[in-house]
């Protein structure tokens, strides 16, 4: 199947989003930094995995951490542990939570946990939503930033209030921190300070960090020990997870210091988009390295305009458009290493052309 937008994006010299191509060179580059004699981890044991787990526990300010092949696995397990602990198989989360829309109802099918959808599809979960919760809910998952609504964040004060309320009511609070490192510049907090508000935390290594795959689940030692048993049950306790661990560590060291730059880039770029006719970004001013771009044109009309822009300017803006009703569409932007590599004049030319085409299409 031909996909002109994707193909034009792939040909563009200056893609705006991400760190780079997801090819096997990403892993080769990471492995080049390590000696071939380094011993594999073995079913969750060995220095290679234990050292990384300790390092991440420290960064997240938790007693212990466990490396998982995926966040899907880590988060289902976190919610299962909290539900078993509280004796009620009910977990609350946002209607556009990863568990609700991307995991084929695994939480229910494998763990028998009933999700309680909290807040609206177009807004963040607030303290008032949490206060409305039935007391029987065992745990609440908050995603920072809330990806599916453009990567929005609650005020830090709201977050503290939610945390305090949950502690008072005995509701375990779990952080979906797939993009936690990416929000630190906005909150002006350390990861550990934010995680202190939560009982358990998941972070990912292939979003802003740009690793191959893999996740860390952190909490107190009793929680993480239980999570290892469930990791074995899920089939995630592989004999060797080192391809993911080594690349996670390598790219963490490379990119964790860049989060402020990605955040600044996202704010600048959102500004460029917002100056164009028929475009608004969500949030208007990004609070992380990501945001959504909403365009008041049907997908079929925007696509050829974008292809022309990529071909004329060599700047690639997005590889995919998602429909948003009949008359508009949107796409996700996340800023990584590539953004800083685009010559300013090329970027300005692309946006001038985008604005011109959108004005003309009114």
SS3 319: coil
The answer to whether 32 touches 41, Cβ cutoff 8 Å, is: no
Distance CA 22, CA 251 (A): 13
Distance CA 5, CA 307 (A): 6
326 is a contact residue toward a copy of itself (CB under 8 A): no
Minimum gap (Å) between residue 75 Cβ and a copy of itself: 8
Which 56-75 positions form the footprint of a copy of itself (CB under 8 A)? Answer: 68-74
The answer to whether 61 touches 193, Cβ cutoff 8 Å, is: yes
Find the part of the chain contacting a copy of itself (CB under 8 A) among 11-19, 35-43, 178-186, 315-323.
35-43
Minimum gap (Å) between residue 181 Cβ and a copy of itself: 17
36 is a contact residue toward a copy of itself (CB under 8 A): yes
- Comparing CB distances to a copy of itself, the nearer of 16 and 99 is 99
217 is a contact residue toward a copy of itself (CB under 8 A): no
Minimum gap (Å) between residue 12 Cβ and a copy of itself: 16
Give residue 163's Cα distance to chain centre: 21
Binding string, 223-242, against a copy of itself, x = CB under 8 A?
A: ------xx-xxxxxxxxxxx
Minimum gap (Å) between residue 348 Cβ and a copy of itself: 30
Minimum gap (Å) between residue 226 Cβ and a copy of itself: 11
Would you call 105 exposed, middle or buried from its count of C-beta atoms within 10 A (0-12, 13-18, 19+)?
Answer: exposed
- Comparing CB distances to a copy of itself, the nearer of 59 and 74 is 74
Q: What's the distance, Cα to Cα, between the start and end of the chain in Å?
A: 30
Which 99-128 positions form the footprint of a copy of itself (CB under 8 A)? Answer: 102-106, 109-111
- Comparing CB distances to a copy of itself, the nearer of 80 and 357 is 80
2 is a contact residue toward a copy of itself (CB under 8 A): no
φ, ψ of residue 218 in degrees (nearest 5) = -125, 150
- Comparing CB distances to a copy of itself, the nearer of 240 and 348 is 240
Per CB under 8 A, the list member of 1, 2, 24, 345 interacting with a copy of itself is: 24
246 is a contact residue toward a copy of itself (CB under 8 A): yes
Nearest of 98, 95, 94 to residue 75 by alpha carbon = 98
Crossing angle for the helix pair 180-187 and 259-274, to the nearest 10 degrees: 80
Helix ranges (DSSP H) in 150-275: 156-169, 180-187, 191-195, 221-234, 242-255, 259-274
Minimum gap (Å) between residue 265 Cβ and a copy of itself: 23
213 is a contact residue toward a copy of itself (CB under 8 A): yes
Crossing angle for the helix pair 71-86 and 221-234, to the nearest 10 degrees: 120
340 is a contact residue toward a copy of itself (CB under 8 A): no
Distance CA 82, CA 256 (A): 30
Give all strands (DSSP E) within 298-350, no chain letters: 315-316, 322-323, 329-334
Name residue, tokens 């080049």: 32
Number of residues that bind a copy of itself (CB under 8 A): 53
Using CB under 8 A, list all residues that contact a copy of itself: 21-29, 31, 34-40, 42, 68-74, 76, 102-106, 109-111, 206, 212-213, 229-230, 232-244, 246
């Amino acid at each position: 199947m031909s996909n002109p937008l994707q193909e034009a994006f792939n040909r563009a010299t200056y893609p705006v989003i991400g760190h780079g191509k997801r090819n096997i060179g990403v892993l080769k580059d990471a492995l080049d930094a390590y000696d071939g004699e380094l011993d594999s981890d073995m079913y969750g044991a060995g220095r290679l995995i234990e050292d990384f787990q300790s390092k991440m526990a420290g960064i997240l300010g938790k007693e212990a951490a466990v490396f998982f092949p995926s966040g899907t696995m880590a988060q289902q397990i976190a919610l299962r542990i909290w539900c078993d602990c509280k004796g009620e198989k009910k977990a609350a989360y946002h209607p556009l939570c990863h568990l609700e829309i991307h995991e084929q109802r695994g939480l229910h099918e494998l763990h028998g946990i009933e999700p309680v959808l909290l807040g609206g599809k177009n807004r963040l979960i607030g303290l008032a939503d949490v206060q409305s919760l039935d007391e029987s809910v065992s745990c609440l998952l908050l995603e920072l930033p809330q990806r599916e609504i453009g990567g929005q964040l609650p005020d830090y004060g709201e977050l503290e209030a939610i945390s305090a309320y949950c502690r008072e009511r005995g509701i375990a609070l779990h952080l979906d921190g797939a993009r936690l490192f990416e929000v630190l510049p906005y909150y002006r907090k350390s990861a550990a300070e934010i995680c202190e508000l939560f009982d358990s935390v998941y972070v990912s290594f292939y979003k802003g960090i740009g690793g191959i795959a893999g996740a860390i689940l952190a909490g107190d030692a009793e929680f993480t020990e239980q999570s290892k048993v469930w990791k074995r049950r899920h089939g995630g306790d592989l004999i060797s997870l080192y391809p993911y661990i080594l690349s996670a560590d390598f790219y963490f060291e490379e990119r964790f210091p860049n989060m402020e730059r990605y955040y600044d880039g996202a704010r600048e770029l959102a500004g460029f988009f917002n100056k164009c006719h028929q475009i608004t970004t969500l949030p208007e001013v990004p609070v992380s390295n990501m945001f959504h771009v909403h365009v008041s044109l049907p997908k079929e009309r925007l696509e050829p305009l974008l292809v022309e822009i990529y071909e004329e300017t060599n700047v690639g803006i997005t590889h995919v458009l998602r429909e948003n009703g009949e008359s508009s569409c949107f796409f996700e932007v996340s800023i990584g290493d590539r953004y800083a590599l685009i010559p300013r004049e090329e970027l300005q030319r692309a946006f001038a052309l985008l604005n011109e085409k959108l004005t003309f299409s009114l």
